[in-house]
């Protein structure tokens, strides 16, 4: 069975994900992507961009600044209401989210509780009535629930006592809203059209383990669709389907995905739904689809004093477009991809093979070139150079061939090419399939065509 410990150990040992600032004992829930991990994550982002930007004629890309005018966050409502209900344990000084304490308690007791719909007072009463204790020290001596701001503050300006507060953006979406008119005018875009962006976001959250699932720094991939109000619910349903289809297209198993409507709506949302993935810790949010109405554009119109009206070129009707948002964390998706791909296979002789069944487009290396013996290195390096012109390859001549196959299986390399003495004679190699372990003899040109076809 796949556990989060198995995934995180594999990630650490195979250069996929390391603890952030590890030599200084880390910094709570920050993670660094290693040489293999950065490729997988980049491939995930590329697949997303291809699906949502390149394959949609009326979606435009954007890369907005992380630091924005603080008025943006007043307009968006984040300054006033972007917070979590926190409690501190007075005994062991650990900080907890009240909603998480209740959820964990309910899970243990098998209770059906909708914590999202509870007020702070209701949560406080539930914790008191059920005598919920600190999960760290087992005592019950909490501070009352307080709303804890999630936006990271920093400051700009060089004079020490005259600094302006600015925020690290807690979502990329606002960059898309404040650039609505820039994109619409410069691209001569007609509603309905989309703006998509991939970038870092930051939230000062308490992060209760689960590896990279909830971090204080993460990347979002967001798509805002600007449309007419009367078409917006149809688009909302279309994006629910598109979001699911994208996940299936990169190899996520359907059985591990489900829709979950929000019980409690964010301040901006008219209706909202998550797609959840069945992670090792249970069903949890992977991405969100939100009907944001005209909230964002209207608020930016109000706070900036700039008109956000769009004029229909055919009817001359003027209106503030409605927004349907689709948002997914690249890191959270990568975690789902890794959990989804992981398999332990019992082999004859009692051996276990760990294999990551990554979709070929997501795998770090598409092919690993392995000379059977060291004295075949020259030919093998020649083959490696040729293949590497077409797709990213690995080269490995260290250790037994069996061990080298295993290393590649563990990082999800879909194919290994073995170079032997026949290669010197006729330029043919053995292509070994990661999933079936079947081997076929073919020329290097056939390998290139075969792999390129898979990556189309
Ligand atoms: N613009 C809307 C928005 O930000 P959200 O539900 O707060 O909505 C969207 O976040 C997605 O971003 C989530 O579904 C999740 O994939 C990812 N995400 C949010 N907070 C995260 C965190 N602390 N760590 C990793 N990913 C996160």
Sign of the dihedral defined by the CA atoms of residues 239, 245, 246, 248, in that order: positive
Structure tokens at 225: 């669709």
Distance (Å) of CA 357 to CA 37, 47, 64, 196, 340: 15, 17, 35, 29, 8
Phi, psi of 114 (to 5 degrees): -100, 85
Pairwise CA distance, residues 59 & 53, whole Å:
5
Per-residue confidence (pLDDT) for residue 116, from 0 to 100: 79
Q: Is the CB of 203 under 6 A from ligand 1?
A: yes
Omega within 30 of 0 (cis) for the link into 262: no
Q: Is the CB of 223 under 6 A from ligand 1?
A: no
Q: Is the CB of 214 under 6 A from ligand 1?
A: yes
Per-residue confidence (pLDDT) for residue 113, from 0 to 100: 86
Pairwise CA distance, residues 442 & 431, whole Å:
7
The beta strands (E) that lie in 206-293 are given as 217-227, 257-261, 271-279, 282-293
3-class state of residue 326 by DSSP: strand
Per-residue confidence (pLDDT) for residue 160, from 0 to 100: 60
Q: Mutate which of 218, 275, 292, 325 to test ligand 1's pocket (most atoms within 8 Å of Cβ)? A: 218
63 CA from centroid of ligand 1 (Å): 18
Per-residue confidence (pLDDT) for residue 93, from 0 to 100: 87
Per-residue confidence (pLDDT) for residue 162, from 0 to 100: 63
414 CA from centroid of ligand 1 (Å): 30
Pairwise CA distance, residues 37 & 43, whole Å:
10
Q: Indicate the helix (H) or strand (E) that contains 325.
A: strand 322-329
Structure confidence by residue, pLDDT tens digits, 307-339 = 999 999 999 999 999 999 999 999 999 999 999
329 CA from centroid of ligand 1 (Å): 6
Pairwise CA distance, residues 367 & 390, whole Å:
10
Structure tokens at 242: 């598109």
Q: Is the CB of 222 under 6 A from ligand 1?
A: yes
Q: Is the CB of 285 under 6 A from ligand 1?
A: yes
Instruction: Provide the residue count of the chain.
Output: 456
Nearest CA to ligand 1 atom 25: 214
Per-residue confidence (pLDDT) for residue 40, from 0 to 100: 98
207 CA from centroid of ligand 1 (Å): 13
Q: Is the CB of 218 under 6 A from ligand 1?
A: yes
Nearest CA to ligand 1 atom 7: 171
Nearest CA to ligand 1 atom 6: 288
Pairwise CA distance, residues 344 & 361, whole Å:
22
Angle between helices 120-129 and 98-109 (to 10 degrees): 50
367 CA from centroid of ligand 1 (Å): 33
DSSP count for the chain of H helices, then E strands: 15, 23
Structure tokens at 202: 């930051």
Nearest CA to ligand 1 atom 15: 329
Per-residue burial over 269-305, b if 16 or more Cβ lie within 10 Å, else e, is bbebbbbbbbbbeeebbbbbbbbbbbbbbebbbeeee
Residue 167 near residue 70 (C-beta atoms within 8 A): yes
328 CA from centroid of ligand 1 (Å): 6
332 CA from centroid of ligand 1 (Å): 8
Per-residue confidence (pLDDT) for residue 401, from 0 to 100: 96
Phi, psi of 10 (to 5 degrees): -65, -45
Taking CA 150 as the corner, what is the angle to CA 146 and CA 155, rounded to the nearest 5 degrees?
Answer: 120
Q: Is the CB of 48 under 6 A from ligand 1?
A: no
The segments of the chain whose pLDDT lies below 70 read 158-162, 207-208
Q: Mutate which of 332, 334, 335 to test ligand 1's pocket (most atoms within 8 Å of Cβ)? A: 332
Ligand 1 closest atom vs CA 287? 14
Q: Is the CB of 170 under 6 A from ligand 1?
A: no
Nearest CA to ligand 1 atom 17: 329
Per-residue confidence (pLDDT) for residue 161, from 0 to 100: 62
Nearest CA to ligand 1 atom 18: 329
Nearest CA to ligand 1 atom 16: 329
Pairwise CA distance, residues 405 & 207, whole Å:
36
């Amino acid at each position: 069975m796949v556990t989060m410990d198995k995934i995180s150990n594999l990630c650490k040992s195979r250069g996929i994900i390391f603890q952030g600032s590890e030599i200084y004992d880390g910094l709570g829930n920050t993670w660094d992507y290693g040489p293999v991990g950065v490729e997988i994550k980049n491939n995930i982002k590329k697949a997303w961009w291809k699906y949502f930007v390149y394959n949609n004629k009326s979606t435009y890309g954007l890369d907005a600044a992380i630091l924005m005018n603080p008025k943006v966050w007043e307009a968006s409502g984040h300054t006033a209401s972007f917070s979590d209900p926190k409690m501190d344990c007075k005994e062991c000084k650990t900080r907890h989210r009240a909603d998480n304490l209740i959820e964990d308690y309910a899970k243990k007791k098998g209770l059906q509780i909708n914590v999202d719909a509870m007020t702070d007072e209701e949560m406080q009463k539930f914790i008191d009535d059920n005598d919920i204790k600190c999960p760290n020290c087992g005592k019950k001596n909490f501070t009352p629930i307080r709303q804890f701001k999630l936006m990271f503050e920093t400051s700009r300006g060089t004079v020490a006592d005259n600094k302006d507060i600015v925020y690290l953006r807690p979502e990329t979406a606002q960059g898309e809203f404040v650039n609505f008119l820039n994109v619409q005018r410069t691209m001569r875009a007609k509603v309905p059209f989309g703006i998509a962006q991939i970038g870092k976001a930051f939230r000062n959250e308490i992060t209760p383990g689960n590896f990279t699932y909830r971090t204080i720094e993460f990347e979002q991939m967001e798509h805002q669709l600007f449309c007419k109000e009367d078409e917006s619910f149809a688009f909302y349903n279309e994006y629910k389907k598109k979001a699911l289809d994208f996940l299936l297209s990169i190899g996520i198993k359907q059985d591990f995905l489900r829709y979950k409507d929000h019980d409690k709506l964010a301040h901006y949302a008219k209706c909202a739904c998550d797609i959840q993935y069945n992670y090792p810790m249970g069903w949890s949010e992977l991405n969100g689809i939100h009907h944001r109405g005209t909230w964002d554009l209207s608020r930016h119109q109000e706070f900036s004093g700039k008109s956000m009206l769009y004029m229909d070129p055919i009817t001359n009707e003027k209106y503030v477009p409605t927004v349907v948002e689709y948002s997914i964390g690249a890191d959270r998706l990568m975690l789902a991809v890794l959990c989804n791909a992981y398999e332990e296979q019992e082999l004859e002789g009692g051996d276990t093979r760990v294999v990551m069944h990554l979709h070929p487009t997501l795998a770090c290396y598409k092919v690993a070139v392995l000379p059977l013996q060291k004295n075949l290195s020259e030919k093998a390096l020649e083959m490696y150079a040729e293949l590497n012109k077409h797709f990213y390859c690995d080269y490995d001549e260290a250790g037994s061939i069996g061990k080298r196959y295993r290393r590649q299986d563990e990082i999800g390399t879909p194919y290994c090419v073995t170079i032997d003495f026949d290669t010197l004679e006729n330029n043919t190699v053995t292509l070994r399939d990661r999933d079936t372990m079947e081997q076929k003899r073919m020329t290097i040109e056939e390998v290139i065509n075969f792999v390129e076809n898979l990556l189309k």
